[in-house]
Amino acid sequence: MHLVISYDISEDKRRTKIHKILKSYGQWMQFSVFECDLT
């Protein structure tokens, strides 16, 4: 399944944590947008 995930998080610590998690699942496209191929 191909997903585009976007988020808007104002808290720096939480945003950094989410970014690191999503980076392990897919490709970082823009500031808060990821493309992920999940099964």
Residue 39 pLDDT:
86
Residue 11 pLDDT:
95
Percent of the chain that is helix, strand, coil (3-state, to 5): 30, 40, 30
pTM: 0.75
* Bridge partners for 4 per DSSP: 35
Residue 32: how many CB atoms within 10 A of its CB?
Answer: 15
Residue 33 pLDDT:
95
Residue 38 pLDDT:
87
pLDDT tens profile 1-39: 999 999 999 999 999 999 999 999 999 998 899 999 988
Residue 34: how many CB atoms within 10 A of its CB?
Answer: 20
Q: Give the Cα separation of 15 and 25 in Å (integer).
A: 16
